[in-house]
Amino acid sequence: MRIDLECLNEYILSLIPEDRYRETFLGIREYLTRGGKRFRPLILLLTYGNFRGYYHDILYHAAIVELFHNFTLIHDDIEDGSELRRGKPTLHKQYGIPLALNAGDALYTLIFQMVARLDDRKLRELYVSNFFEVVEGQAMDIYWRETKYFPTEEEYMKMISKKTGALIGLSMYLGAYLAGVDDMRYMELGRDIGIAFQIQDDLLNLLSPPEYGKKWADDITEGKRTMMIIHALRRLDRDAAERLREILNSGSDSEDIKREAIDLIKRGKGIQYAREFLKKKFQKIHKNIQELFTTRNHYGEELVEMIRNMEVRKR
């Protein structure tokens, strides 16, 4: 890999003042060392590197997007009642909900301090508006579950475009913008990548073995409304659709119940539909990469390779 991930990780960790504010940033440094794909900062750095031939001068921006992503994970895990994150207990399982919430808040405040230091007003506004979109998308996702509402596919696409697509779109756009290329098509390409990433993540949650790093099929337990479920509900007969809704609203962690839900989703062609959607979405992504990255160096080639690997990922 052309990007030095160890250097990036060390830089990100150097920004967390856990030694000085132990109770405030409790567990954050360890949380950040658990791995993760660093997908968002890599998109930013590789896009920038494709135009400039180097990237070390924008690590600050790569850190902002990665720290914000991790902040959302801490709070998402609390909101979803998740027990594992990257194969280890979630922060609130380690330290309790009050301390985990506060640590997430501290990280969020640190991020906004970093954004506030930027001289470029357009960049500050871009960060804030896209951060708000992520929060808005999460609110939609939670609201549907809490009110037992099942969205349309159009509503679902709007939600993931915000919750997952906004930050990935911002990352690609920033890579181009900071390199002197101000073109919103990079934002749209990044959003498409984010949409594909989320739908694939939803598929893997149902189909991957326990080594995936989360509880098997915990999206069923959490009652998440995914593309597969929305499509299956349209295709199933009334009794089967009602049973699937009942399972998703029950919060059951029973493996037998989760298998029943997955069988219903398969019967309603939900998994097949999502796979067909992803095939078309990746075709569009590759076409747009060809158009927007007409001249490539090794950073551009690594970006293309990363998207190809994402297309076939198993975890």
Residue 216's pLDDT is what? 82
CB atoms near residue 309 (< 10 Å): 10
Pull the structure tokens for residue 18.
Answer: 């856990």
* pLDDT average, residue stretch 47-60: 97
User: What is the mean pLDDT of the segment spanning 153-164?
Assistant: 98
Q: Using an 8 Å Cβ cutoff, are 97 and 81 in contact?
A: no
pLDDT tens for 200-209 read: 999 999 987 6
Q: Vertex 273, ends 314 and 40: CA angle to 5°?
A: 45
Question: Please, are residues 119 and 56 in contact by the beta-carbon 8 Å criterion?
Answer: no
Predicted local confidence at residue 1, as pLDDT: 55
The mean pLDDT of 305-309, rounded to a whole number, is: 94
The number of angstroms, rounded, from the C-alpha of 138 to the middle of its chain's C-alpha atoms is 11
Dihedrals phi, psi of 181, to nearest 5 degrees: -115, 100
SS3 track for 84-147: EECCEECHHHHHCHHHHHHHHHHHHHHHHHHHHCCCCHHHHHHHHHHHHHHHHHHHHHHHHHHC
Q: 44 lies in which domain range?
A: 5-311
SS3 64: helix
What is the reported pLDDT for 81? 87
Give the separation between CA 7 and CA 59, rounded to whole angstroms: 9
Pair 281, 195: CB distance under 8 Å = yes
Q: Which residues of 97-108 are buried (b: 16+ CB within 10 A; e: fewer)?
A: eebbbebbebbb
170-185 tens-digit pLDDT: 999 999 999 999 999 9
Q: Return the CATH number at 84.
A: 1.10.600.10
pTM: predicted TM-score of the whole model, two decimal places: 0.94
Query: Count of domains in the chain?
Result: 1
Q: What is the per-residue pLDDT for 18?
A: 83
